[in-house]
């Protein structure tokens, strides 16, 4: 496994299924990340008034405000617009991945996800995002 500063990660998990929150949270905690959880889109948006996570892991199909709506809200708000968002979803049919990425998400993880590869997958998506940004933005991101 690649060396990663998982201990510096602050992760916001958004999922309406408690078991799936627990599985993701346990994995992330085990590797040293700080984790916040929200079981609905609106709860996630409220939490984001107080925290600035490194990455948001967002379920798509949720009652009330779904993941698409949450994502629109995140990108429309200057406070949250630059936080990386990864869809973690059981929408795993052929075109779902393409749709998620086309809408501007930073990454896509299909459920059931592989617990053993979870940290690396998130890390790779975050690395790729930093690599893709212009140098001045990268510095800006570091000073945050």
Partner 1 sequence: MQGQNVALVKANLELAVARRQAEESTRLKSEFLATMSHELRTPLNAVIGYSQLQLAGMAGELSAEQHTFQERILANAQHLLQLINEVLDLSKIEAGRLEIHERPFAVRDMVAEIMTQNRVLAEAKGLSFEAHLDPDLPPQMMGDRGRIKQIIINLVSNAIKFTDQGSVNLQVSSEEARQWRICVQDTGIGIPAHTQETIFDEFRQAEEGHHRGGTGLGLAIVRKLALAMGGSVHLKSEVGSGSVFTVTLPLVPVDDNVLVEGEHNV
> Per CB under 8 A, does 20 bind partner 1?
yes
Task: Pick between residue 30 and residue 130 the one whose CB is nearest to partner 1.
Answer: 30
What does the alpha-carbon distance between residue 130 and residue 139 come to, in Å, rounded to a whole number? 10
- Location of structure tokens 């940004």: 133
What does the alpha-carbon distance between residue 74 and residue 96 come to, in Å, rounded to a whole number? 20
> Per CB under 8 A, does 113 bind partner 1?
yes
> Per CB under 8 A, does 139 bind partner 1?
no
> Per CB under 8 A, does 87 bind partner 1?
no
Long-range contacts of 95-101 (CB under 8 A, 24+ apart): 100/60
Q: Which two tokens stand for residue 129?
A: 């995002």
Neighbours of 28 (CB within 10 A): 20
Task: Rule CB under 8 A: choose which of 91, 103, 121, 129 binds partner 1.
Answer: 91
Q: Least distance to partner 1 from the beta carbon of 74, Å?
A: 22
> Per CB under 8 A, does 92 bind partner 1?
yes
What does the alpha-carbon distance between residue 64 and residue 82 come to, in Å, rounded to a whole number? 24
> Per CB under 8 A, does 26 bind partner 1?
yes
Task: Pick between residue 71 and residue 113 the one whose CB is nearest to partner 1.
Answer: 113
Give the residues lining the site for partner 1 (CB under 8 A). 17, 19-20, 23-24, 26-27, 30, 61, 89-94, 110-116
């Amino acid at each position: 496994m690649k060396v990663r500063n998982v201990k510096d990660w602050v992760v916001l998990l958004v999922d309406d299924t408690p078991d799936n929150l627990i599985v993701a949270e346990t994995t992330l905690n085990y590797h040293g990340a700080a984790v916040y959880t929200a079981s609905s889109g609106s709860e996630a948006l409220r939490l984001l008034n107080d925290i600035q996570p490194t990455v948001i892991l967002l379920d798509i199909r949720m009652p009330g405000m779904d993941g698409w709506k949450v994502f629109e809200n995140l990108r429309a708000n200057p406070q949250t617009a630059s936080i990386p968002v990864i869809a973690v979803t059981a929408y795993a049919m052929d075109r779902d991945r393409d749709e998620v990425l086309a809408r501007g998400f930073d990454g896509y993880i299909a459920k059931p996800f592989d617990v053993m590869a979870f940290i690396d997958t998130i890390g790779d998506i975050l690395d790729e995002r930093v690599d893709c940004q212009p140098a001045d933005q990268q510095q800006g991101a570091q000073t945050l």
